[in-house]
């Protein structure tokens, strides 16, 4: 008989092996799905995972998609290490995009090197402000942050839609729900000429490294870890619980807000309703797949960025819906969580104890001594 047994010590090996295993299982399942859909599975997988990054432009596109994922994931890592289950990166991202747009539109075609920093700061501030609502609700009313942040995501989306249909709508835009194009001074410089890759990727890499350093070297990072591991110990040590929660929410909000700002000031250049294909949600997968460590986050954000590109290739090359992106992301998370069980548990073969003991199994309760 097979049984799951708690390990004496968590498996370090499994902690790092689990994402790799999950990816392999995802590919195998993808193979079977292509078979089931009557498509050539090898060609399908090649289109999904390899073709998108087979040239320089493709790699640049990968970086373009990985940057917002990585920024959101870096912020979420701070929350998740402290076991604050902030699901609100999507909302922070959208509000960051709206905030940056409001700022950018004030400057029109104006020039000045300070315009871009102001626009980005406006995005960071709006993301952090949006996050602050959930922080306030958690620290003052003990509201569960999972619920509040999800709800705030929908509110943020509707605010964005209101903005592009109303106050921020381009007056010369033929009534399309989108803002005016930003002036050049409000756009991010390019990283590689000839591609769409902008310096937002540098922000993201910097954020990932900063989060790594935060947890490896600083006392506040340590306090956040203790808060996540063992709230009673944090209380016993006298760590400032509320301040730590505020810190995690504000930094996560600011980073996701910056990601939103970098999206409208980068490849898009204006605010549109589809500014995010779900970066804030996908970033959650990045955090867990990347084991909440800087290098891991960078690799995982690249992989998840690939699923967005792969999904587009499916539409073009295989006549399959874009939902393939969500399907592969979901599979990946599902297998990751499954494999993660083996960090704490292991499978053990147990033999059933059947001792031959004839005649003694009958209850003897009625006998008197």
Partner 1 sequence: MTAAARLRLEHIVKEYPGCRANDGIDLTVAPGEIHALLGENGAGKSTLMKVIYGVIQPDEGTLYWDGEKLTLQGPAHARQLGIGMVFQHFSLFETLTVAENIALGLPASEARDRKKLEQRIRDVSTHYGMALDPRRHVHSLSTGERQRVEIVRCLIQDSRLLILDEPTSVLTPQEVADLFRTLRQLASEGCSILFISHKLQEVRDLCHHATVLRNGKVTGECDPTETSTDAIARLMVGDETPLSTDVPPATPGAPLLEVSGLSYASDDPFGTALRDITMELRAGEIVGIAGVAGNGQDELLRALSGEYKAAANQVRFDGQAVGQMGPDARRRAGIAVVPEERLGRGAVPDMSLVDNTLLTASAQGMVSKGWVAYRKVREYAARVRDRFQVKSDGVEATARSLSGGNLQKFIIGREALQAPKLLVASHPTWGVDVGSAVAIHQVLVELRDKGAAVLLISEDLDELFELCTRMGALCGGRLSPLVPTESLSIEQLGQWMAGDFADAAGEVNHAVA
Minimum distance between the CB of residue 8 and partner 1, rounded to whole angstroms?
6
Give whichever of 7 and 322 is closer to partner 1, judged by the CB atom: 7
From the list 5-13, 25-33, 102-110, 123-131, the region that binds partner 1 by CB under 8 A is 5-13
Give whichever of 111 and 367 is closer to partner 1, judged by the CB atom: 367
Angle between helices 294-313 and 323-344 (to 10 degrees): 150
State the Cα–Cα distance between residues 99 and 118, nearest whole angstrom.
11
Considering the rule CB under 8 A, would residue 175 count as an interface residue with partner 1? no
Considering the rule CB under 8 A, would residue 142 count as an interface residue with partner 1? no
Give whichever of 43 and 229 is closer to partner 1, judged by the CB atom: 229
Q: Which of 321, 327, 297, 302 is nearest to 65 (CA)?
A: 302
Minimum distance between the CB of residue 352 and partner 1, rounded to whole angstroms?
9
Binding residue count for partner 1, defined by CB under 8 A = 30
Q: How many CB atoms lie within 10 A of CB 55?
A: 10
Give whichever of 166 and 238 is closer to partner 1, judged by the CB atom: 238
State the Cα–Cα distance between residues 135 and 84, nearest whole angstrom.
10
Considering the rule CB under 8 A, would residue 369 count as an interface residue with partner 1? yes
Site for partner 1 in 200-259 (CB under 8 A): 217-220, 222, 225-226, 229-230, 232-233, 235-239
Give whichever of 16 and 154 is closer to partner 1, judged by the CB atom: 16
Tokens for 248, please give them.
Answer: 């995690």
State the Cα–Cα distance between residues 123 and 92, nearest whole angstrom.
9
Considering the rule CB under 8 A, would residue 353 count as an interface residue with partner 1? yes
Give whichever of 5 and 40 is closer to partner 1, judged by the CB atom: 5
Under 8 Å between Cβ of 239 and 63:
no
State the Cα–Cα distance between residues 243 and 220, nearest whole angstrom.
10
Q: How many CB atoms lie within 10 A of CB 290?
A: 27
Minimum distance between the CB of residue 171 and partner 1, rounded to whole angstroms?
49
Minimum distance between the CB of residue 80 and partner 1, rounded to whole angstroms?
15
Spell out the residues 6+ positions from residue 51 whose beta carbon is closer than 8 angstroms to its own: 58, 313, 317
Minimum distance between the CB of residue 271 and partner 1, rounded to whole angstroms?
37
* C-alpha count within 13 angstroms, C-beta hemisphere, residue 34: 20
Tokens for 251, please give them.
Answer: 């930094």
Give whichever of 319 and 362 is closer to partner 1, judged by the CB atom: 362
Minimum distance between the CB of residue 144 and partner 1, rounded to whole angstroms?
19
Considering the rule CB under 8 A, would residue 176 count as an interface residue with partner 1? no
Give whichever of 171 and 365 is closer to partner 1, judged by the CB atom: 365
State the Cα–Cα distance between residues 256 and 261, nearest whole angstrom.
9
State the Cα–Cα distance between residues 41 and 29, nearest whole angstrom.
10
Which residues sit at the interface with partner 1, rule CB under 8 A? 5, 8-10, 217-220, 222, 225-226, 229-230, 232-233, 235-239, 353, 355, 357, 360-361, 363-365, 367, 369
């Amino acid at each position: 008989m097979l049984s799951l047994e708690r390990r004496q010590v968590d498996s370090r090996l499994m902690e790092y092996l689990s994402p790799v295993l999950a990816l392999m299982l995802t590919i195998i399942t993808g193979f079977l799905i292509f078979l089931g859909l009557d498509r050539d599975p090898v060609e399908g997988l090649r289109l999904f995972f390899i073709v998108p990054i087979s040239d320089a432009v493709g790699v640049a596109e990968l970086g373009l998609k990985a940057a917002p994922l990585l920024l959101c994931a870096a912020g979420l890592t701070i929350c998740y290490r402290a076991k604050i289950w902030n699901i609100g990166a999507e909302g922070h991202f959208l509000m960051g995009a709206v905030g940056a747009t409001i700022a950018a539109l004030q400057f029109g075609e104006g020039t000045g090197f300070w315009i871009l920093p102001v626009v980005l700061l406006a995005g960071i501030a709006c993301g952090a402000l949006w996050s602050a609502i959930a922080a306030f609700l958690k620290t003052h009313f003990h509201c569960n942050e999972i619920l509040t942040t999800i709800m705030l995501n929908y509110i943020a989306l509707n605010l964005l839609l209101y903005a592009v249909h109303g106050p921020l709508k381009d007056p010369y835009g033929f009534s399309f729900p989108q803002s005016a194009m930003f002036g050049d001074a409000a756009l991010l410089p390019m990283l590689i000429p000839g591609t769409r890759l902008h310096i937002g990727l540098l922000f993201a890499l910097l954020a990932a490294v900063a989060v790594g350093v935060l947890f490896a070297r600083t006392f506040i990072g340590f306090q956040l870890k203790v808060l996540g591991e063992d709230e009673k110990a944090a209380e016993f040590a006298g760590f400032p619980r509320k301040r730590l929660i505020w810190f995690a929410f504000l930094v996560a909000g600011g980073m996701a807000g910056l990601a939103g700002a970098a999206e409208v000031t980068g490849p898009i250049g204006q605010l549109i309703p589809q500014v995010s294909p779900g970066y804030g949600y996908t970033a959650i997968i990045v955090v867990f797949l990347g084991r909440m460590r800087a290098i891991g986050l960078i690799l995982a954000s690249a992989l998840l960025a690939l699923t967005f590109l792969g999904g587009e290739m499916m539409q073009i090359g295989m006549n399959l819906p874009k939902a393939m992106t969500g399907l592969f992301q979901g599979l990946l998370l599902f297998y990751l969580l499954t494999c993660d069980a083996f960090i704490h548990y292991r499978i053990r073969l147990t033999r059933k104890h059947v001792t031959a003991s004839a005649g003694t199994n009958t209850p003897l309760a009625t006998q008197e001594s």
